[in-house]
A and B are shown apart, each in its own frame.
Chain A
Amino acid sequence: MSAHAPAHPRPKRWWTPTKEAAQYAPPVPLGGPYFGWPLLVLLALAALGGALIVWRFAAGLGATTALNDGYPWGLWIAFDVVTGTALACGGYAIAILCYVLNRGKYHPLVRPAILTSAFGYSIAALFVMLDVGRPWLIWKVPLFFWHWNRHSVLLEVALCIMGYAIVSWIEISPAFFERMMHSKRPTIRAVGERGLSLVQGFLLWIVALGVLLPMMHQSSLGSLLLLSGPRLDPLWNTPLLPLLFLISCVGMGFGATVLESVLSSWLLEHEPKRPMLSSLGRAMVPVVGVYLAIRIGDLVRRDQLGALFALDGASILSLVELALFVLGAGLLVTERQRADLGNLFRAAIVLLVAGALYRFDVFLVAFRPGSHWHYFPSVTEILITVGLVAAEIAGYVLLIRFFPILSAGRHAAPAR
């Protein structure tokens, strides 16, 4: 509708932030230098990964991966899909804070967090394409709805990941349109204006979807392993897997957002948003507290405390997992701890590692296909993972330099 209202010089915004948020300067492109040597290193790693992807399709999964009939899911699923999307939950967590709970002070974190989600989910979708044996039939999954198996948790996960990958790029699209509006060419300016006002018209409904979809499938990533229950170590085998996955992904989303803000302020020399990050840190404490209460309560209820302290491999990993969560939250308890940027950074890393370890444990350690099966990722699996993560970071850095993602900082001059 508003696309046909040329009377307004600027299209109507889809969202009115709180007064608090309005105090912050709007996001601007960070500007150059565009190609430094770190970016070249990242691109080289990405190119190597790309070459190995070609090899994976030319030689097949058996020749290029360490996957086998005992461990049909390995690094790509456990790390790149399951852990990667949890790390990419920053956009989801910040959207809840900002729009659903109306905490306007987090507004400057929205775009960087959503961009992380968009990259994280797109990479996850790419890894699914690499991992499946018959990728040329993937199109049937979203389209053959009369064949949908409504009991299949994986179907729900697949549809939600595809859906959220698209939703998150729409959520970030105003940044691209705004940049186009500053172009020298009038046609590009017009496209930017049209696009922006079009997107503004329905963005609220998209953002709501962007909260719903991760909530559905982050829990379902845990439900996936319920079917493997008979072959899952009792330390991790609980009907509460979906709840534990959901809560821990919120913690990981906050962690990733803190990490990314601190890192970008250090590397790109703009002012860190210290008060905002400290209060994010504060929000992490109850989230981790609830997670720990449920995790430990569940172990007690299922009579697994003996196994937890048996000090065998599974017990030690569970204890390390729990200790990391406790340590991460413990670093954020007092106001003074949270005022220290370095401390926030450490806490974020610890909590990310804790959530990642939990996911690895469930998908690779707890799963017991029989003692004669072994799995350790092949060099190809690892290098493709490294390559695509490098591509993700390189893409992120390039996009924040070219497009208005980060809020104005010391170095930021609008590149027009």
Chain B
Amino acid sequence: MLYDSTKCIGCKACMGACNAANELELDTEASGGLWHTPLDLNEHAKNIIKLYQDESTGEHAYVKRQCMHCLDPACATACMLGAYAKREHGIVTYEPDYCIGCRYCEMACPFGVPKFEWSKLAPKMVKCELCKHRIAEGKGPACCEVCPVGAVIFGQREDLLAEAHKRLEDDPERYVPKVYGEHEAGGTQVLYLAGVEFEKLGLPAYGDEPVPGTVRTVQHAIYQGFVAPVALYVGLAAAMLRNRFANEADREEHQ
């Protein structure tokens, strides 16, 4: 998915389409029961359009937020039973049957995407799964299909990346010279173009390292093939046996 903030007109048609396609209830809390106005991604919003506005300079831009579908997702590294995994088309999907609701994915995701159904007694996690049910039917994600100005388009990552770089080349005045998601946090399958700095849009300046890199390095160093824990266990038991025999011998000597 490629989102071009400079094309987005903030009509929020994608938000309604997302809720309809994913059978999500509407979040009407902020509007006093009138219409769907989530303030952030939440249990009723897998997709949201936000406005960035600097009143002193008049600078403003829209930004669409949803799951970034990381190439190396932190949520899938966190999840105990693999409820999250990268499956067909690289979509980061969620299977509630293997989710105990620990919310470690929320702690792990660098983009704050997975949300928990706080209001429910049998809660699940809620996050964009790129309309996998629609893709299975040969359709595209609802947000991409409904967008009236083509601000968000669906396709293969390499094609979208080429398209993004072409836009940057064709109209360098219009854009911040970067495709967000090409390298950030190890690369994401959702790519962004914008006319204002990405950090102002809530897309932090992450390095090129995948988020799970550090923990994998550390855990591999300690638990490679489970050799160290087993060796430690044998060592501990051996030390204890040796101590026991030493103490026994010591006792007998003095009896």
Contacts and interface: CB of A to CB of B under 8 A. Distances in A.
A131 B106 CA distance: 14
Contact of A17 (B118, B232, B247): B247
B107 A69 contact: no
Nearest to B232: A212
A24 to B, nearest CB: 14
Interface string B127-144: 000000000000000000
Nearest to A140: B81
A83 B217 CA distance: 25
Contact of B212 (A22, A151, A231): A151
B100 A144 contact: no
A141 B100 contact: yes
Given A154-B102, A205-B237, A227-B215, A60 B123 contact: yes
Given A60-B119, A72-B116, A229-B214, A100 B110 contact: no
A155 B100 contact: no
A15 B244 contact: yes
Contacts of A369: 112
Interface in B194-253: 202, 204, 206, 211-212, 214-219, 222-223, 229, 232-233, 236-237, 239-241, 243-244, 246-248, 250-251
Interface in B111-128: 112, 115-124
B86 interface: no
A242 B228 CA distance: 15
B101 interface: yes
A242 B244 CA distance: 32
Given A67-B118, A69-B112, A100-B236, A152 B77 contact: yes
Of listed B206, B244, B246, residue having the most chain A CB within 10 A: B244
A104 interface: yes
A18 interface: yes
A147 B81 contact: yes
B217 A239 contact: yes
B33 to A, nearest CB: 19
Size bracket of the B interface: 35 or more
A61 interface: yes
A166 to B, nearest CB: 16
B35 interface: no
Size bracket of the A interface: 35 or more
B101 A69 contact: no
21 contacts: A16-B248, A69-B115, A69-B116, A73-B107, A104-B247, A133-B103, A133-B116, A133-B117, A133-B123, A133-B124, A137-B98, A140-B81, A151-B77, A151-B219, A153-B78, A154-B104, A155-B81, A208-B240, A212-B229, A228-B107, A230-B206
Interface of B: 40-42, 74, 76-82, 96-104, 106-108, 110, 112, 115-124, 185, 202, 204, 206, 211-212, 214-219, 222-223, 229, 232-233, 236-237, 239-241, 243-244, 246-248, 250-251, 254
Given A133-B100, A204-B241, 13 more contacts: A15-B244, A19-B247, A19-B250, A72-B103, A72-B107, A100-B240, A133-B117, A141-B100, A153-B219, A212-B232, A227-B215, A239-B214, A367-B107
Interface of A: 15-19, 22, 60-63, 67-70, 72-73, 99-100, 102, 104, 128, 131-135, 137-138, 140-141, 144, 147-149, 151-156, 158, 204-205, 207-209, 211-212, 215-216, 219, 223-231, 239, 242, 367, 369-370, 372
